[in-house]
Amino acid sequence: MQKRRNRQGGENGGRKSRDRKFGARQKSKRVLEEVTGKVQMTRDGYVFVIIEGEPDNDVFVKASKTRGALNGDIVRCAVTRERKDGEEGGRGKKDAGRRREGEIIEIIERSHKPFVGVLHIVGRQAWVLMQSRNMPYDISIDFDTLPEGAKRGMKVAAAIDGWDRGEPTPKGHIVDVLGMPGENDTEMHAILAEYALPYRFEPEVENAADQISEKITDKDLKERRDYRGTLTFTIDPADAKDFDDALSFKKLDNGNYEIGVHIADVSHYVLPGTIVDKEAQERGTSVYLVDRTVPMLPEKLCNKLCSLRPHEEKLTFSVVVEMTPRGKIESRWFGRTVICSDYRFDYDGAQQIIESDGKEPADPAIGQDVREAIVTLNKLALTLRKRRFASGAISFERPEMKVEVDATGKPIRVYEKITKEANWLIEEFMLLANRSVAEFIATSGRMDGKADKKAKTFVYRVHGEPNTEKIASLGQFVSNFGFKFGPSGNGREIAKSLNTLLAEAKGTPECDAFQMIALRSMAKAIYTTDNIGHYGLAFKFYTHFTSPIRRYPDTMVHRLLSLYLDNAESQNKEYYEAQCQHASEREQIAANAERDSIKYKMIEFMQDKIGNEYEGSISGLTEWGMYVEIKPTMIEGMVALRDVKSDFFEFDEQNYLIRGRRTGKVFRLGDPVKIRVKAANLEQRLLDYELVDATTDNGSSNDGSGSGSADGKAKKKPFYAAVAHTDDQSKRKSSNKDKGRPRKKYGPKSSSGKKGR
C-alpha cells in the first residue's frame, strides 16, 4: 500500500499532492466567479464540476486543483477561465484550452455513494483498492469494522466516512461484500453498486408487498368499466415476466373499432407514502442488465398482482378510443377498468399472424377473432406510424445488439435484435395512449390540440429541439461525402431534412457516421411539469402512462389522472417538478448501468478471440485513438494511435477526423477499417484493437483540405457522439467508461424490449 501509486500522480496514495491541496491555497489565476456543483470524475481521470440546471456550463478542474474532492461531492468552485463566445461546454467535448476552468475551494458535502474495489488486508490493516480512475484514491478501512465474510481479494462496496488532514487516503467502511472478482454475480452486482443501485429489497419492503391483498372486491369493481367480456390480449418479448399492458378490440355497428389500451393499475395497490411506494419512488425505474432485471417493485407486485397474465382478472387503468378504418380517432375515454386477458403472444407469434394475414399459426387454440384483430390493429398501427413520420418524427435506425448468455452468465452470442410490424403495433398504440393522456390534461379536457395556460399540474415527457450549431456541423460533415444538408427554419423542417438525409444515405458506409453525429445534436428527453412537446416523436403533448410496473413517473401520471377525472384541484407543481428531476436522474443512472453490463459481457465475449481479424468502421475519435465497431456484432474497441507506427496523428474534432502529420493520411468517422483484436481486459473493462494495415488508403481526402483551425493546426480534444433519448425507437445500449481513455458514447439507451417510450 505504501508504494501504491495513485492515479493522479505521486506515490503513497497521493500524500504529496494531498498535502498541497489541503494546505495553503496556491497562487492562482484571477477568480471570475464562484459556483456550486457536483464533482464528476471520469474513468479517464478528467474532473468536472457539474452545475445543476446548466448541463452545458460545467467547469473543468485539473487534478492538482481538486482539494481532495471525490466523485459525487458537492463543492464550491472558483472559475478562473471562462469559455469564449461561441465555444461549447460539456464534459469532454472540448479540451482544457477551450472549456471553463476552475479550482475547488471548498467541499460542502461528501457523497454517500459507495465505491467498488478489491479488499486488501495485511495484518490488522485493511484497504479497498480502487480499480477505476473515477475514484483515484484507495480507501482505508478500520479492521474492526470489517463485516462477517469479508475476505482478502473480494470485491466490496465501500462508503467514505471522512478524510483527515494530512492523511494519504480517505477513511471509510464496507457497505456490501460483493464476492470474488470474475464471478458473474459479483461483476453484475459490482456494476449496480457503482451506481448505488440496489439489487435486492429490504425484508420490510418485501413483507409490506406480501401483505397487499390479491382479492378483487365488489367495491373495487363498483366504479370500473368491465372489459372482461371483450377480446383482450398481450404482446410482449418471449422472456417477459411482467405484462403491464394489454389491448382490447371490438368491431362497432357503425363500422369503426373500439380499441382499449389497458395498463396495470399499480396505483390501486401501491398507495402514496407507504414503504413500497417510497422504495419505488427512490428507485425510479427497473434496471435491465444483460442477464437480469432489477425490478422497481417487489416480485409479488410486478410479476403477479399487477402483471396482466392470461385468464386472470386484473384491475387496469385504460385509454379507450373509437377509431375509423382509416385511423381517424372519433372519441377517447379515460378511466379505471377490469379485464381478463384471453391470449398471451410473444412478438414472433404475433408477427407470424401478421405475415400470414391471419392464416398462421394453424393452432385451433388461437381463435379467428384474435387473428383478425391483430391483422386489423397492425394496419391501423402502420397508418399511425406513417402519419407520425409525415409530421416530422425522426427515424434513427442504428441496429440494437443483444448479448445472449448461458445459465452461468457466460456470453455465447452477440446478435442484432430485429424489429418488425408486431413491435410497431404495440409501440404505436402505447404512443397513442401516452399522447392522448397528455393532451387530455394539457388542454383541460378539450382535446383540441391547444394547450390551456391554466392546465393543472402534470408530469410530461418532453424532448427539446436539437442544438443548431451541431446541426450545422452535421451539414459540413456530410458535404465531404457529396450529400447536402442545410435546413433552415423551425425544428420540424430540420427533422424532415434529417429524415431525407438518412434515407438518401441508407446503405452507404458513411450512413452510421451521419446518424451518430445527428444523434449527438439531439437534446435529452426528460420528465418535467412544463410541457414543451416531444421533438423526436413530433408530438405537442406527451407523457409516460403505459409502464407503471417499471417506471415510477407512470405511477405519478396514473395518480394525477385519477385525481383530475374526479375533478380534484391542481396538485403542487414544485413537489412534482422535484419528483420529475429525480426520475430523470434515476433513468440516466439505470441507463449507464445497463450500458456497462453490455460492455462487460461484450469484452468477455471477445476474450477467446485475441488475434482474430475483423472488418469494421470508425465509430468515434479521440486525441489519442479511434473507436472501431466490428462486423457483424458491432462490438467496439479502441485502436490507440501510438500503435499506428506509420505517422503521428492529430485530431480535428470540427471535421471528425484524425490526420497524419507527415503523410497527410486521414481517418474519418465512419471510415471502413480492418482490425485485429489485441487485448480484452475484463478487470479494467478495456477492449483493444490494432489496425491490420494502417497504410491502406481509406478513400478519404489526404490533402488536409477543409479541416483544422485558423492557424492550420488540428484541434486536440476528445470527441463525443453523445445522444439523448428520442423515445420512439428501440433504445440501444453502449458504453465506453474505460479506464485511461476519453469517453465516447453513441446511440439511444436500450429499452430492453419494453414499450411505451
Cβ neighbourhood burial of 214 (10 Å; 0-12, 13-18, 19+) = exposed
Determine which of 307-311, 341-345, 615-619, 705-709 has the lowest per-residue pLDDT on average: 705-709
All residues at 6 or more sequence positions from 711 whose CB lies less than 8 Å from its CB, including other chains: none
Q: Give the alpha-carbon dihedral of 675, 678, 682, 687, to 10 degrees.
A: -30
Cis peptide bond N-terminal to 672, omega within 30: no
Bigger pLDDT: 4 vs 386: 386
Report pLDDT digits (tens) over 115-144. Answer: 999 999 999 999 999 977 678 889 999 999
Instruction: Please tell me the distance from the alpha carbon of residue 169 to that of residue 529, in angstroms, as a whole number.
Output: 43
Report pLDDT digits (tens) over 350-370. Answer: 999 999 999 888 788 999 999
Taking 50 as the threshold, does the pLDDT of residue 647 lie above it?
A: yes
Report pLDDT digits (tens) over 430-471. Answer: 999 999 999 999 999 999 999 999 999 999 999 999 988 888
Taking 50 as the threshold, does the pLDDT of residue 48 lie above it?
A: yes
Kindly report the number of other CB atoms within 10 A of residue 41's CB atom.
Answer: 24
Mean pLDDT of all residues in 616-632? 93
Report pLDDT digits (tens) over 392-436. Answer: 999 888 889 999 999 999 999 999 999 999 999 999 999 999 999
Q: How confident is the model at residue 1 (pLDDT cuts 50, 70, 90)?
A: very low
Taking 60 as the threshold, does the pLDDT of residue 703 lie above it?
A: no
Q: Which three cell numbers stand for residue 612?
A: 482474430
Strands (E), 641-739: 649-652, 657-660, 666-668, 672-681, 686-691
For residue 133, the model assigns a pLDDT of: 67
Bigger pLDDT: 421 vs 24: 421
Nearest to 671 by CA among 615, 707, 618: 618
Distances from the Cα of 596 to the Cα of 177, 196, 354, 698, 724, angstroms: 20, 14, 36, 31, 17
Mean pLDDT of all residues in 700-709? 35
| 3-state per-residue secondary structure call for 112-129 | CCCEEEEEEEECCEEEEE
Cβ neighbourhood burial of 531 (10 Å; 0-12, 13-18, 19+) = buried
Q: Which three cell numbers stand for residue 717?
A: 480534444
Domains of the chain: 31-109 (2.40.50.140), 118-194 (2.40.50.700), 206-458+545-594 (no CATH), 465-522 (no CATH)
- Strand pairing category for 313-323 and 115-122: unpaired
Report pLDDT digits (tens) over 132-179. Answer: 767 888 999 999 999 999 999 999 999 999 888 788 899 999 999 999
- Strand pairing category for 54-61 and 101-109: parallel
Q: What is the DSSP letter of 449?
A: S
Strand, coil or helix: 727: coil
Bigger pLDDT: 519 vs 245: 245
Q: Are 646 and 665 in contact (CB under 8 A)?
A: yes
| 3-state per-residue secondary structure call for 353-404 | HHHCCCCCCCCCCCCHHHHHHHHHHHHHHHHHHHHHHHCCCCCCCCCEEEEE
Q: What pTM does this model have?
A: 0.85
**DSSP bridge partners of 81:** 101
What is the number of residues in the chain? 757
All residues at 6 or more sequence positions from 477 whose CB lies less than 8 Å from its CB, including other chains: 513, 514, 517, 655, 656, 669
Q: Are 577 and 529 in contact (CB under 8 A)?
A: yes
For residue 721, the model assigns a pLDDT of: 30
Mean pLDDT of all residues in 337-350? 97
284: left (phi over 0), alpha (psi -120 to 50) or beta: left
Taking 60 as the threshold, does the pLDDT of residue 689 lie above it?
A: yes
Q: Are 659 and 666 in contact (CB under 8 A)?
A: yes
For residue 84, the model assigns a pLDDT of: 60
For residue 402, the model assigns a pLDDT of: 96
Backbone angles phi, psi at 737, to 5 degrees: -80, 70
Taking 70 as the threshold, does the pLDDT of residue 730 lie above it?
A: no
Taking 50 as the threshold, does the pLDDT of residue 568 lie above it?
A: yes
Q: What is the DSSP letter of 215?
A: P
Q: Are 674 and 693 in contact (CB under 8 A)?
A: yes
For residue 28, the model assigns a pLDDT of: 53
Determine which of 41-55, 484-498, 651-665, 729-743 has the lowest per-residue pLDDT on average: 729-743
Mean pLDDT of all residues in 317-323? 99
For residue 397, the model assigns a pLDDT of: 82
Taking 60 as the threshold, does the pLDDT of residue 727 lie above it?
A: no
Mean per-residue pLDDT over the chain, rounded: 86
Q: Which three cell numbers stand for residue 10?
A: 505521486
For residue 132, the model assigns a pLDDT of: 74
Strand, coil or helix: 606: helix
Cβ neighbourhood burial of 597 (10 Å; 0-12, 13-18, 19+) = buried
